[in-house]
């Protein structure tokens, strides 16, 4: 079982954190440490690596000071079965990345979609006419699909293996790439420390009319984005989404009652 801290000597005793595996790439602890310093509050945010999601209830028992958690790969979908309540939008999406803990009761939310919506507003043209490819089929991909649906952007999932209503990477021809102007990587491919890897695409089919978004923010520029930039594509990493979803999580945690 993954080891977790069990005692902290600070005044409030209030703690937040992130669960997932691995967590070495996560910037969330640094983000919240700076936030707490700026707000002059004596609270903590820690990494809680879990080998498997079945360890989640024990974490809650051992850390009663927890008031909120973020959730990252590979547990955004698996954690749903362990929650007392799920926000309606998160239930519709089928993935949770934020948990509010109130008197021992847990409620799941999805703030990834908030981060994505704000990223789209700031980055994509106000009128985007085109189709999208979503690389990966994990929990983050479901939030991406929901955000695209809100903007009426047609999309197609891409998986490592062929499946109904999904393409495999082997099926991604230059014609398919040319016909999908927005490509979003939701997989961990290229994430630290495996930054020398990238999704297998015919990158030569990209041009200045393409938009590439990588939800990875560490490294700042993945090979996926580097290859796209060489072809003239508009590229963006996941830092803005990280910040916006983290701020949305903070708002949820700080409310006296879950929304």
Beta strand spans in the chain (E): 15-20, 44-49, 66-71, 85-86, 98-102, 105-109, 132-135, 155-159, 166-168, 182-185, 211-214, 234-236
CA–CA gap between residue 157 and residue 191 (Å, rounded): 20
What is the CATH architecture of 113-240? Answer: 3-Layer(aba) Sandwich (3.40)
The CATH architecture assigned to 15-110 reads 3-Layer(aba) Sandwich (3.40)
Residue pair 255/70 in contact (Cβ under 8 Å)? The answer is: no
Domain ranges of the chain: 15-110, 113-240
Q: Are strands 105-109 and 98-102 parallel, antiparallel or unpaired?
A: antiparallel
Same-fold call for 15-110 versus 113-240: yes
Do residues 110 and 97 lie in contact, with contact meaning Cβ atoms separated by under 8 Å? yes
Strand 155-159 relative to strand 98-102: parallel, antiparallel, unpaired? unpaired
pLDDT at 149: 97
Positions marked active-site: 76
Residue 164: its pLDDT value, please? 85
Instruction: Enter the pTM of the model.
Output: 0.90
List the chain pLDDT tens, one digit each, 259 residues. Answer: 444 444 444 456 899 999 999 998 899 999 999 999 999 999 999 999 999 999 999 999 999 999 999 999 999 999 999 999 999 999 999 999 999 999 999 999 999 999 999 999 999 998 898 999 999 999 999 999 999 999 999 999 999 987 888 999 999 999 999 999 999 999 999 998 888 999 999 999 999 999 999 999 999 999 999 999 999 999 999 999 999 999 999 999 998 533 3
pLDDT value for 163:
83
């Amino acid at each position: 079982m993954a080891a977790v801290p069990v005692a902290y000597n600070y005044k409030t005793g209030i703690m937040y954190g992130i669960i997932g595996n691995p967590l070495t790439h996560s910037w969330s602890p640094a983000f919240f440490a700076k936030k707490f310093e700026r707000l002059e509050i004596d609270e903590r945010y820690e990494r809680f690596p879990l080998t498997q999601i079945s360890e989640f209830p024990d974490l809650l028992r051992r850390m009663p000071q927890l008031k909120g958690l973020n959730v990252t790969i590979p547990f955004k979908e698996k954690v749903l079965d362990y929650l007392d309540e799920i926000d309606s939008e998160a239930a519709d999406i089928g993935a949770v990345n934020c948990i509010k803990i109130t008197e021992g009761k847990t409620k799941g939310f999805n703030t990834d979609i908030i981060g994505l919506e704000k990223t789209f507003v700031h980055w994509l043209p106000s009128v985007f006419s085109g189709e999208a490819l979503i690389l990966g089929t994990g929990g983050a991909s479901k939030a991406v699909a929901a955000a695209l649906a809100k903007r009426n952007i047609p999309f197609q999932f891409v998986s490592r293996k062929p499946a109904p209503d999904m393409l495999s990477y082997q099926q991604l021809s230059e014609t398919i790439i040319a016909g999908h102007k927005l490509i979003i990587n939701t997989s961990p491919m290229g994430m630290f420390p495996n930054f020398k890897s990238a999704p297998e695409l015919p990158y030569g089919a990209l041009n200045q009319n393409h938009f590439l978004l990588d939800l990875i923010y560490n490294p700042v520029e993945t090979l996926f984005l580097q290859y796209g930039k060489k072809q003239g594509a508009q590229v963006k990493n996941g830092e803005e989404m990280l910040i916006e979803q983290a701020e949305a999580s903070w708002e949820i945690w700080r409310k006296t009652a879950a929304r």
